[in-house]
Structure 1
Amino acid sequence: MAKKIELTETVLRDAHQSLLATRMRTEDMLPIAGKLDQVGYWSMEMWGGATFDASLRYLKECPWERLRRLRQAMPRTRFQMLVRGQNLVGYHNYPDDVVERFITRAAEGGIDVFRTFDAMNDVRNMKTAIAAALKAGKIVEGTICYTISPVHSVDYFLRLGERLVEMGVQLLCLKDMGGLLAPYVTYELVKGLKSRIPLPLHLHSHCTAGLAPMSYMMAIEAGVDILDTALSPLSQGTSQPATETIVAALKETPYDTGLDLKLLGEIAEYFYAVRRKYAEFESPVNNQVKADILVSQIPGGMLSNLVAQ
């Protein structure tokens, strides 16, 4: 059954992580925050992932201050963060009490949606973070990390989704961090998840291999509820499909997002200038279709940082 498609905007987190090695400063987010707050996104992904590390290591900024200031500037929009399960926003596992305290503080600071994943799809590494976010009264997206291997069958992903539901998550996210999802596989996976699990389904992908726009359209046909997109100046390549393109593609259809292309265009003009400011962190690798990523399977958000290093 056709329905309105909701969008999560990644321009303040995964888009610049994937294209600009996570170097966007808070000072370049705040001037446009008011307009972003007017759009009507389902959520704004603006924290977590590599942003915490990059803020401290390279930008000499306080990530908690970024959260506070953006929350003040965008009171109407759901804020979303990416949580690496027991690793939180770091690169090794932390004790349960640290995980619980971090999640509690993030919730108090203004995070509404906790997209929680484990790179190995080991739900034991997601349990504490999920429980802490639920205890804080927040929305938890249980995340299925997509990859291709002899053991990663459609049935494997469906069973993983069912295990996440048992943990109490309110949404599922199919996270294709490598941009590996082919269109017809997407259709089969989304159809299977929606038929077996009565929860909203969120799809995240990258355009690295050139598949994501096609896979998004197949996901829509199969019943997906929410898509991750990035405003056009920070879209495509190792980032997500363009927000404006998806909005235009669905306009005056049963899937119409209801978002204002004129307003999105005004915001995009701002981010074109921002992208030019950070040009030194770009690489041709991030802006090309890299079909060989289907072999290496390097995530889009990792590739730009790897090249920068």
Structure 2
Amino acid sequence: MESSKKVGITEVVLRDGIQSLLATRVPLRDLVSILPALDKVGYWSLETWGGATYDACIRYLDEDPWERLRTFNSLLKNTPQQMLIRGQNLVGYKHYSDEVVSKFLEKSAENGIEIFRTFDALNDFNNIEFTIKHVKQIGKHAQGTIAYTTSPVHNLDTWLDLAKKIEDAGADSLAIKDMAG
């Protein structure tokens, strides 16, 4: 991981905000006007893609998710684009082969993604390890993620063990995701 102690702020309104509040049903034409303003803020990254965005573009918005990504890329001149990857599930709802994961990551990078935030909802490291390593192979920023929760089986040692595995896999940075808010 980066040796810097600097904390970067990622704005997730274009992905998680819309996904959580509006079921990812906001068309691209309604987003492009806000991009220049978001680009000027100075965020470390903007999370624009991943999660349910891919599915919603196809299923509900009649949009090409790759065109959405390319449009964002053309309008964001100062802020890197980030995406959320569900480990081996990518942006889908099943487990994909390493070959499919590799090609999807490569095409995402070619179309504008610089930072890949990979997580597994159950914190199964086996489901994020390949993604972290392949993102590094293609020269992009791999951000490993801990899906934080509280329970009788989750304690400081749980989180430290997972963070160490993420670091050992070669992640550039670590995110802590609290899906419950």
Could you say which TM-score interval applies, normalised by the shorter chain? over 0.9
The percent identity for this pair of structures is 53
Partner residue of 1:89? 91
Partner residue of 1:154? 156
Task: Between the two structures, name the one with larger relative contact order (CA 8 Å, sep ≥ 6).
Answer: 1
Q: Does 1:64 align with 2:66?
A: yes
Cα offsets for 1:66-120 (capped at 9, x unmatched): 0001100112211010000000001110111000000011011110110001111
Partner residue of 1:31? 33
Partner residue of 1:173? 175
- CA–CA distance in structure 2, aligned partners of residues 150 and 5 of structure 1: 29
**Quick one: which of 132, 137, 140 aligns to 1:138?**
140
**Quick one: which of 46, 53, 60 aligns to 1:44?**
46
**What amino acid maps onto 1:127 in structure 2?**
E
**Quick one: which of 73, 76, 83 aligns to 2:75?**
73
- CA–CA distance in structure 2, aligned partners of residues 58 and 111 of structure 1: 23
5 Å-filtered alignment, 1:121-270, equals 121-179=123-181
**Quick one: which of 12, 20, 23 aligns to 1:21?**
23
**What amino acid maps onto 1:137 in structure 2?**
G
**What amino acid maps onto 1:6 in structure 2?**
G
Cα distance, 1:4–1:99 mapped onto 2, change above 3 Å: closer
- Between Structure 1 and Structure 2, the one with more strand by share is 2
Cα distance, 1:110–1:166 mapped onto 2, change above 3 Å: same
Cα distance, 1:4–1:142 mapped onto 2, change above 3 Å: closer
- TM-superposed CA distance for 1:123, in Å, is 1.1
- Could you say what secondary structure the match of 2:56 adopts? helix
- TM-superposed CA distance for 1:4, in Å, is 6.9
Cα offsets for 1:214-267 (capped at 9, x unmatched): xxxxxxxxxxxxxxxxxxxxxxxxxxxxxxxxxxxxxxxxxxxxxxxxxxxxxx
- Between Structure 1 and Structure 2, the one with more helix by share is 1
- CA–CA distance in structure 1, aligned partners of residues 147 and 34 of structure 2: 32
Partner residue of 2:10? 8
Give the total of aligned pairs.
Answer: 177
Partner residue of 2:120? 118
**Quick one: which of 49, 54, 57 aligns to 2:56?**
54
- CA–CA distance in structure 2, aligned partners of residues 100 and 7 of structure 1: 27
Larger Rg: 1
Which aligned segments of 4 or more residues in structure 1 are displaced greater than 4 angstroms? Answer: none
Query: How much is the aligned-residue C-alpha RMSD, in angstroms?
Result: 1.3
**What amino acid maps onto 1:113 in structure 2?**
I
Cα distance, 1:69–1:40 mapped onto 2, change above 3 Å: same
- CA–CA distance in structure 2, aligned partners of residues 158 and 128 of structure 1: 20
- CA–CA distance in structure 1, aligned partners of residues 77 and 136 of structure 2: 21
5 Å-filtered alignment, 1:90-105, equals 90-105=92-107
TM-score (norm 2): 0.94
Query: Is 2:129–2:166's contact at 8 Å kept on the other side of the alignment?
Result: no
TM-score (norm 1): 0.56
Gaps of 5+ in 1: 180-309
